[in-house]
Amino acid sequence: MTVYTATPRGQAAHQLFLDVQTRITDALASLDGRQSFRVDQWDRPEGGGGRSMVIEDGRVFEKGGVNVSAVYGELSEAFARELPGSGRHFFATGVSLVIHPRNPHVPTVHANFRYLEKGDGEDYTAWFGGGADLTPWILYEEDAVHFHRVWKAACDRHPVADHDRLRKWCDEYFYLPHRGETRGVGGIFFDYFGTGGERGTPADLDEVQRFVEDAAGSFLDAYLPIVERRQHTESTEAERAWQLVRRGRYVEFNLVYDRGTVFGLKTGGRIESILMSLPNLVAWKYDHQPEPGYQTALLEVLKQPRDWLA
């Protein structure tokens, strides 16, 4: 990987994300049992690089990617104005994952934890962002409760992280205005933590970093028990068709609204890594109408998000 210059905090964050990537891919590959993760080291010509790890056609996981990057360079004037702080130079590192299981009874999951520095020399602004959210195709309320319970426990260990605020922020962020639906049943989301920028918290960065380390380490506890509980559930052709249609909503959000996708495209990111979150198989059907039962039950909670721990 290309050598980069970052503050000690930036270097520590990058190492943390590499460690998190290794732990998560080892655990997921072990659970799948049939496929391992392909490792793809890449360099970014403008500065930096990354390590993408992708699993495809597994027993449990139809498509999944866990990507770590550390990139740096100069932002365009227009994009620099959209971010907190002054100057145009930046350093960004993060770990991002999306896992699409094969069985429609096993939910798709996303998580991302990132750190950015923007500025020139010692005059720079730094912040953390990230979160995790669960996207079921067939709703099991106990799975949603478990997922939220793990994230609440992580937040409760750190005064800087108000779980209720991060939970609501997640529902608001992972929302498709053109559909009038949230993408899934939520989780947590935060951005600009450490600055006063757009809803960010001007908190001590050391405290924020400790929270991010804890949250990133909580992902497997939040997700693996759900996969283990649902992976052997029998599914029907109708449930599979529903899964493919609903994956279309996932693609719509990632390509139209997702900040990570936008940031990657605007900073000349590696397109294979940026779009690794997209499932291999997806369907759009004209004027598709959900059927009563598990389909309408899911849509009810997507149109009216719940506090799953209330």
Instruction: List residues with catalytic annotation.
Output: 110
The DSSP code for 84 is S
DSSP helix/strand/coil, 120: strand
**Do 288 and 243 meet the contact criterion of CB atoms below 8 Å apart?**
no
**Do 55 and 89 meet the contact criterion of CB atoms below 8 Å apart?**
no
Structure token pair of residue 78: 């227009």
Distance CA 303, CA 175 (A): 9
Smallest CA-to-CA distance from 53 within 62, 44, 66, 42 is with 66
Dihedrals phi, psi of 53, to nearest 5 degrees: -130, 120
Smallest CA-to-CA distance from 281 within 235, 304, 250 is with 250
Q: Tokens 């959210």 sit at which residue? A: 133
Distance CA 247, CA 251 (A): 6
H/E stretch holding 219 reads helix 219-230
Distance CA 269, CA 258 (A): 14
The DSSP code for 98 is E
CA 154, 196, 95, 16 torsion-angle sign: negative
DSSP helix/strand/coil, 150: helix
